[in-house]
Amino acid sequence: MPIKIQKDLPAKAVLESENIFVMDEDRALSQDIRPLEILILNLMPIKEDTETQLLRALSNSPLQVDCTFLMVSSHVSKNTSRSHLNKFYFHFDDIRQKRYDGMIITGAPVEHMEFEEVNYWEELKIIMEWSKTHVTSTMHICWGAQAGLYYHYGIPKYHRKEKLSGIYEHDVLNRKIPLVRSFNDTFLAPHSRFTEVKREDVLKHPELMIVAESKKAGIFLVMSHDGKHIFVQGHPEYDRMTLNGEYRRDLAKGMHPVIPCNYYPDDDPAEVPVLSWRNTGNTLYSNWLNFYVYQITPYLLEEV
């Protein structure tokens, strides 16, 4: 089944060029089906790239998915045009009376700051509290995962000595968990972050379980036992060239970044990176939509 998106969203043309089945609003309205309502709080600076990445990942499901994009009111985006935001995004006050089957909270480039120093932290806290009663299941990504673990469980983040960047091997810890159904025993996934959540802090909370982790990159997947909250301390939705863009941006800033691990062939930045994590990302998002959203959410969203 297709993913339903607004007619003029730039991601639509990109996804169609990749032979991904997308459906605009007019055609979707003609179908006698209730799509899954997914809210995406996009905190990334270049929002169009994140839109395409997430919509691509959500499209690999037999379910019709209707995505709504949300932005915070307490922060002005400097890297996305105002016209794009006005056309495709909502503020929290616009949707706070609605209920959603699922929600995604993205990462954000604010890792060097304490959570309370982020200018939209208070608003984000309100949204995360609201999600407890208005969303069936919420997926938190990278900094969003660290923010969610901190807000919901008081789990702190720690600064690393250097940025973790690259493609890392992970182990599935419990194959019986539906979130990792059809995963290989070991799998590859991207990480890009300066901070981390530690294993021992998560284990202090019996209501949480670690589902997958890496010997080099640390925790990858954490979830509550009821599937209400899923935390991904990585970026399985990243494109082939996303880490390349980040690496060259950091070079241009004079930050002397290390070459992303296990990313370029022969560690040569002149080479085209090998896309080795796409199946994992697609499976993760499909499993989330199926087992933690579709199988759980009521037909009438008012009953959430």
- Concerning whether 235 is annotated as a catalytic residue, the answer is yes
Could you tell me which residues come within 8 angstroms of residue 102 by beta carbon, excluding any fewer than 6 positions away?
Answer: 36, 37, 38, 39, 135, 136, 137, 138, 139, 288, 289, 292, 293, 297
The residue annotated as part of the active site, out of 134, 142, 170, 196, is 142
pLDDT per position as a tens digit, 235-258 = 999 999 999 999 999 999 999 999
C-alpha distances (whole Å) from 285 to each of 5, 200, 211, 292 are 17, 26, 15, 10
Is residue 169's pLDDT more than 60?
Answer: yes
- 140 is a catalytic site residue: no
The helix-helix angle for 47-58 and 10-17 (nearest 10°) equals: 50
Residues 37 and 72: their CA atoms lie apart, in Å, by: 19
The whole-angstrom separation of Cα 75 and Cα 53 is: 22
Question: 90 pLDDT exceeds 90?
Answer: yes
Does the pLDDT of residue 71 top 80, yes or no?
Answer: yes
Where do we find the tokens 């939705």?
237
Q: Do residues 278 and 236 lie in contact, with contact meaning Cβ atoms separated by under 8 Å?
A: no
**The pLDDT value given to residue 31:** 46
Residue type, 109: P
Q: pTM above 0.85? A: yes
pLDDT in tens, 112-132: 999 999 999 999 999 999 999
Nearest-angstrom CA–CA distance, 209 and 216? 19
H/E stretch holding 103: strand 100-105
**Amino acid, res. 187:** F
**pLDDT tens profile 186-237:** 999 999 999 999 999 999 999 999 999 999 999 999 999 999 999 999 999 9
Calpha distance 160→150 (Å, rounded): 17
